[in-house]
Structure 1
């Protein structure tokens, strides 16, 4: 009995010793992998390619990066043994991230990237049962298949080494700038939808670098209506 309890405790323990650099790289991996999966899904279900990028630079979709970090911390850490619990927690966490993202985009920018109002089991059109099941499945795959691989790789990395620290810091700075510039570009697109002329040098920069035509091509699945939607 004691040996069995020991084994169960070992299985329930977190698979890896999480640190900030590792969580950042999990965010990056999740952002890229999620974007790839969503792009393939759209091509198979709806036919043809559509840009599903979430940031102005690079092949990133931060909703999946956020989901990957949240699933790693919650599903992998606390419910590793029970596959049903992993699935349910992953479905709840993923749906929560999706709901919050949709709500924030609408409140801040008057933007709509998806609307599930006509689908079964939807909540305010922001999440639905089908995608909750997908989030749960992704959580299982992430926890059971991806995380063990990440554990092996992470265990071989000297996280305190100079090269890793410099690369992680430089990449994090790039990602912060990427996110900040994306938020500014969304806000300016919302202002253009409200027919507001540029009022600052930053507005002029955004109009030149990220005009409405570019934004519509880059964020092909998103519509930004400005205050007309809010």
Structure 2
């Protein structure tokens, strides 16, 4: 093993933070408002930490070979991104990103152009960022004897538990919203059809306005700060089994603010 366990933990945290910083800056500029990125509460994106730490371990002996570094970065990062997307969808019924509009994408989870960016990014990180980061970690390891890694493990572990609770509540809340919206639409349909039986079965068209007019009576639960963060910071976020909520999420956010 080219790194000690405590070094791996600190590397994981460092690149999780760097990944969060990159995504937050890039997406905030792109979306013209502040985006607090990351799935967890804290300022870190574990998918970056997992991917880059794995790449550093796998490429320890070939880091002078830029082509191999690029290829390994391309493959490892793509695999991690695919399975992170798969995990979020199957466990939490959520999609935080969707590359369906990009050429060559696989189920909207990964795409060649994104993987190309990963490969180039890995080369730049390993050649220019990692030497500086490693110097800092060496000093930290000497001074703290691995206790920083213990602290990181505790903090990120607690964060993961709290985030899973929050996401489960988010899923429950959006499902309740969807159920309430469907019930409201059915009530409107029955009411209109009872007054105009000669028209036959009513096709409900633009229900968005009517739902928002009855926002107060429909609202099952208020969205928490973290739930609003998800919706604001991940414009392509989808709760797969709450499609009606997803259609009017922007209007709901305006009411909630």
1:227 positional shift: 4.3
Closer/same/farther in 2, CA of residues 49 and 24 from structure 1, 3 Å limit: same
Q: Which of these residues, 163, 173, 180, is aligned with residue 192 of structure 1?
A: 173
Any idea what SS the aligned residue of 2:176 has? coil
Over alpha carbons, which structure has the higher Rg?
2
The partner residue of 1:212 within 223, 227, 232 is 223
Q: Distance in 1 between matches of 2:30 and 2:109?
A: 20
Query: Residue 108 of structure 1 contacts residue 187 of structure 1 at CA under 8 Å; is this kept in 2?
Result: no
Structure 1 spans left out of the alignment, 5+ residues: 1-13, 197-209
What does residue 170 of structure 1 align with? 151
Taking a change above 3 Å as real, the CA distance of residues 214 and 226 of structure 1, as seen in their structure-2 partners, is farther
CA deviations on 1:169-206 (whole Å, 9 max, x unpaired) are 1221111111121122212221223339xxxxxxxxxx
* Cα distance in 1 between the residues matched to 2:5 and 2:222: 35
Instruction: State the match for 2:54 in structure 1.
Output: 70
1:83 and 2:94 correspond: no
| 1:109 matched to 2:123 | no
> Pick from 13, 22, 30: which aligns with 2:15?
30
Residue 153 of structure 1 is matched in structure 2 by: 136
Q: 1:223 aligns with which of 216, 229, 237?
A: 237
Tell me the distance in 2 between the aligned counterparts of 1:170 and 1:127.
33
Query: Any unmatched runs of 5+ in structure 2?
Result: 178-220, 244-257
Closer, same or farther in 2 for the Cα pair 1:153/1:104, shift >3 Å? same
- Taking only aligned residues, the RMSD between alpha carbons, in angstroms, comes to 2.5
Moved over 4 A (4+): 226-229
CA contact (8 A) 1:194 1:227 kept: yes
- Mapped to 1, the partners of 2:38 and 2:138 lie a distance apart of 31
TM-score (norm 1): 0.76
